[in-house]
């Protein structure tokens, strides 16, 4: 048998709890359902309710357990009621991945986000804007003359 652990903060809204962690699928080996429930109650707190199959609401597929917990980061909040769902699986669920392929329009917009600096395009190499001003100056005044006569 396999189990899935899902953790919620149910302190403020039991109808729309805050999802904290959707744990992986764990192989429980030859443990029976009653043994898993007993171990889960020791680890996750007091049994509070059953978890029902969404496709057949009268069928129990796991349990809910509650305990008091505290956020590691005090800025996130203080104590709260932690509810852990244990959902039983015959085998690990299959995962189907369908990747989104970025389109040219997406990539253009992302390029703007990841490289916001404007790229300098010089249409007229004879004149450039002097840094810190809006004044155009001739390029040859910015580049020193490499000729041997120049003693500057």
- Tens digits of residue pLDDT in 28-66: 999 999 999 999 999 999 999 999 999 998 999 999 999
Of 58-62, 78-82, 105-109, 146-150, minimum mean pLDDT range: 146-150
What residues make up the domain containing 39? 2-89
Domain contains 32? yes
In the chain, the percentage of residues whose pLDDT exceeds 90 is: 47
Q: Find how far residue 54's CA is from the centre of its chain.
A: 26
Task: Please state, in angstroms and rounded to a whole number, the distance separating the CA atoms of residues 34 and 101.
Answer: 45
Domain contains 13? yes
Domain contains 84? yes
Q: What is the pLDDT of residues 134-152, one digit of tens each?
A: 565 565 555 555 556 655 5
Domain contains 127? no
In the chain, the percentage of residues whose pLDDT exceeds 70 is: 75
Domain contains 19? yes
Domain contains 102? no
> Would you state the pLDDT for residue 23?
83
Domain contains 58? yes
> In the structure encoding, which two tokens stand for residue 61, read together?
């597929």
pTM of the model: 0.62
> Would you state the pLDDT for residue 130?
53
> Would you state the pLDDT for residue 146?
59
Average pLDDT score over the chain:
82
Task: Please state, in angstroms and rounded to a whole number, the distance separating the CA atoms of residues 97 and 105.
Answer: 23
> In the structure encoding, which two tokens stand for residue 94, read together?
């299959």
Of 72-81, 87-96, 120-129, 134-143, minimum mean pLDDT range: 120-129
More confident residue, 97 or 136: 97
> Would you state the pLDDT for residue 140?
58
User: How much is the CA Rg of the chain, to the nearest whole Å?
Assistant: 32
Domain contains 65? yes
In the chain, the number of structural domains is 1
């Amino acid at each position: 048998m396999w189990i899935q652990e899902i953790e919620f903060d149910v302190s403020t809204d039991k109808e729309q709890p805050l999802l904290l962690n959707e744990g992986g699928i764990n192989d429980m080996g030859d443990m029976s359902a009653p043994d898993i429930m007993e171990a889960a109650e020791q680890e996750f707190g007091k049994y509070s309710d059953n978890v029902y199959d969404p496709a057949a609401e009268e069928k129990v597929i796991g349990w809910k357990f509650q305990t008091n917990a505290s956020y590691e980061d005090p800025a996130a909040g203080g104590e709260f009621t932690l509810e852990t769902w244990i959902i039983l699986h015959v085998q690990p669920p299959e995962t189907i991945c369908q990747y989104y392929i970025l389109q040219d329009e997406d990539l253009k917009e992302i390029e703007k986000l990841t490289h916001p600096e404007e790229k300098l395009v010089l249409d007229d190499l004879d004149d450039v804007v002097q840094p810190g001003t809006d004044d155009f100056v001739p390029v040859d005044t910015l580049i020193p003359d490499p000729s041997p006569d120049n003693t500057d």
